[in-house]
Amino acid sequence: MPKVLISDKMDPRAAAIFRERGIEVDEITGKTPEELKAIIGQYDGLAIRSATKVTKEILDAAPNLKVIGRAGIGVDNVDIPAASAKGVIVMNTPFGNSITTAEHAIALMFALARQLPEANAQTQQGLWPKNGFMGVEVTGKTLGLIGAGNIGSIVASRALGLKMKVVAFDPFLTPERAVEMGVEKADLDTLLAKADFITLHTPLTDQTRNILSKENLAKTKKGVRIVNCARGGLVDEAALKEAMDSGHVAGAALDVFVQEPAKASPLFGTPNFICTPHLGASTDEAQVNVALQVAEQLSDYLLDGGITNALNVPSLSAEEAPKLRPYMALAEELGSLVGQLEGDRIQGVSVEVEGHAAELNQKPITAAVLAGLMRVYSDTVNMVNAPFLAKERGLDVREVRHDREGDYQTLVRVTVKTESGDKSVAGTLFGHSSPRLVELFGIKVEADLEGHMLYIVNQDAPGFIGRLGSTLGEAGVNIGTFHLGRRTQGGEAVLLLSVDGAVNDDVLKAICNLTGVKTVKLLRFA
């Protein structure tokens, strides 16, 4: 039974789902990194929000971990490259808290426009400061939206409902989508010059870090009000403090900080500065949404192999997973075969699908080929880390989907590029479920790839099979299955034999010494 750890505060419905689906679950929150390292080794899945930092050190201490689920959007608390290298899938829940976060941005915008927190505080102190708080309307004002993805587009729709004009900067926003959203697509400088309010809705990346830098803040309209409900680090906090002190920026609201928890900041106490402790996603509705989603997604993966909202591996729905599973087994075997036969000589890989296979999601098939191929180098390779390892090795990976009807109802072909030319293996599914090799380097051969196998290339000649049988028999090696193919009569022939157990070097040498033998290799399949 898989075991999951929930290491951040999460709606109790997440744990209930895990239990209902037959997964053992522990809810242990507030652990230090050292404490987490001490316990993480027993878990197959980890469900987190933003407090748990999944570093390389934590991953190194988690040999059984297969999947990390973030109940939320941002995954900057997970070292994704380290997770990928370890073969651990990282998933998030990209939509569950977007409305809530967009509403928080709008709430902060109103709070800035009417100075609500300070007005509230002074009123409750008994000061009745009726003349101290002159606000501004948002109607007719321009909202500058930096980042027009899920949350940004919800903020835009709410702002349009409030009769604001919306100008959006997002390099990935198409003109058609901008029209659909009812916003003006602009470059950053235009947005900075036009906006009365600016809200940020991008992830923190090398491109977005300090997107509101000292220089860019200087390009904003005097009296601008700024809301950051996305990630700390998008706004240069020191530069913001200066711009507020000088009166250039009329107000700023931050839900997120470079350093969290933000227990001290030069911005604290600045007039017209408002902040909340990363509350963007904190509503009952959002927390139920993300908890349910993360628990379902982790359970789907751990129980059925379904992959939803993964950030480091192609998605695979729980419906697709059973259809794809036999293809992935076939693909992995073909990858393993070429990997074992060609190894370091491989410079590129092409994965072709035709027939029924061409109707399926090809990405997992390709990932499985690469997993089989790269396993020659490491036992810990799986579908998640194989594409990254292949890239690291400089392998050029291509995918081809054929509409044509071939000799087989379904076929997966793996062709590797080597210095001595392209080499291709192909396989099909028998009875829709059993992987079978049908072609090996241009020679028709039918074989199930399993256990220990001997691969022999020889010159087709009478008596060879007898001599080979005797050699193996004398060495006490029992032959399980025997598959033979040849290019032409008397030409190059290929033999694939399954043998009951490993074959030692002396036996391999003895086979090598048989007349007509060109190549002998011991192969191992799962």
Ligand X SMILES: O=C(O)CCC(=O)C(=O)O
Active-site residues, by number, are: 231, 260, 278
Distance CA 440, CA 425 (A): 5
Which DSSP category does 221 fall into?
P
Which of ligand X, ligand NAI, none does 270 bind, CB closer than 5 to 8 A by kind? none
User: Which position among 2, 45, 69, 72 is part of the footprint of ligand X (CB under 6 A)?
Assistant: 72
Q: Is 442 in the site for ligand X (CB under 6 A)?
A: no
Q: Is 255 in the site for ligand NAI (CB under 6 A)?
A: yes
Please say which residue, 23 or 256, places its beta carbon nearer to ligand NAI: 256
| Binding residues among 406-425 for ligand X as defined by CB under 6 A | none
Q: Is 201 in the site for ligand X (CB under 6 A)?
A: no
* Alpha helix segments (H runs only) across 162-283: 175-181, 188-194, 214-218, 237-245
Best CA proximity match to 5, nearest among 32, 33, 36: 36
* Degrees, nearest 5: CA angle 431-334-404: 65
Spell out, one character per residue from 272 to 301, where the chain touches ligand NAI: x when CB under 6 A holds, - when not: ------x-xx--------------------
Please say which residue, 291 or 334, places its beta carbon nearer to ligand X: 291
Which of ligand NAI, ligand X, none does 201 bind, CB closer than 5 to 8 A by kind? ligand NAI
CB 314 within 8 Å of CB 364: yes
β-pair type (346-355, 443-447): unpaired
Q: Is 234 in the site for ligand X (CB under 6 A)?
A: no
Q: Nearest approach, Cβ of 116 to ligand NAI (angstroms)?
A: 19
Which tokens is 461 given? 């000649």
Q: Nearest approach, Cβ of 160 to ligand NAI (angstroms)?
A: 17
Q: Is 292 in the site for ligand X (CB under 6 A)?
A: no
Stretch that binds ligand X, among 66-74, 236-244, 403-411, 454-462 (CB under 6 A): 66-74
Which of ligand X, ligand NAI, none does 146 bind, CB closer than 5 to 8 A by kind? ligand NAI
Which tokens is 284 given? 């009952």
Length of the chain: 526
Distance CA 242, CA 525 (A): 65
User: Cβ of 155: how many Cβ atoms within 10 Å?
Assistant: 29
User: Which position among 229, 369, 499, 510 is part of the footprint of ligand NAI (CB under 6 A)?
Assistant: 229
Q: Is 143 in the site for ligand X (CB under 6 A)?
A: no
β-pair type (273-275, 249-254): parallel
Q: What is the number of the residue whose Cβ is closest to ligand NAI?
A: 149
* Residue 314: Cβ-neighbour burial (10 angstroms; 0-12, 13-18, 19+): middle
User: Cβ of 57: how many Cβ atoms within 10 Å?
Assistant: 15
Distance CA 85, CA 140 (A): 50
Q: Is 50 in the site for ligand X (CB under 6 A)?
A: yes
Which tokens is 207 given? 């491109």
User: Which position among 83, 151, 252, 353 is part of the footprint of ligand NAI (CB under 6 A)?
Assistant: 151
Distance CA 390, CA 347 (A): 10
Q: Nearest approach, Cβ of 14 to ligand X (angstroms)?
A: 12
Q: Nearest approach, Cβ of 374 to ligand X (angstroms)?
A: 32
Q: Is 281 in the site for ligand X (CB under 6 A)?
A: yes
Task: Tell me the three state secondary structure of residue 386.
Answer: helix
Give backbone dihedrals phi and psi of 326, rounded to 5 degrees, phi first. Answer: -65, -30
> Which residues contact ligand X (rule: CB under 6 A)?
49-50, 72-74, 97, 278, 280-282
> Which residues contact ligand NAI (rule: CB under 6 A)?
72-74, 94, 97-98, 101, 146-152, 169-172, 201-203, 205, 207-208, 229-231, 255-256, 278, 280-281
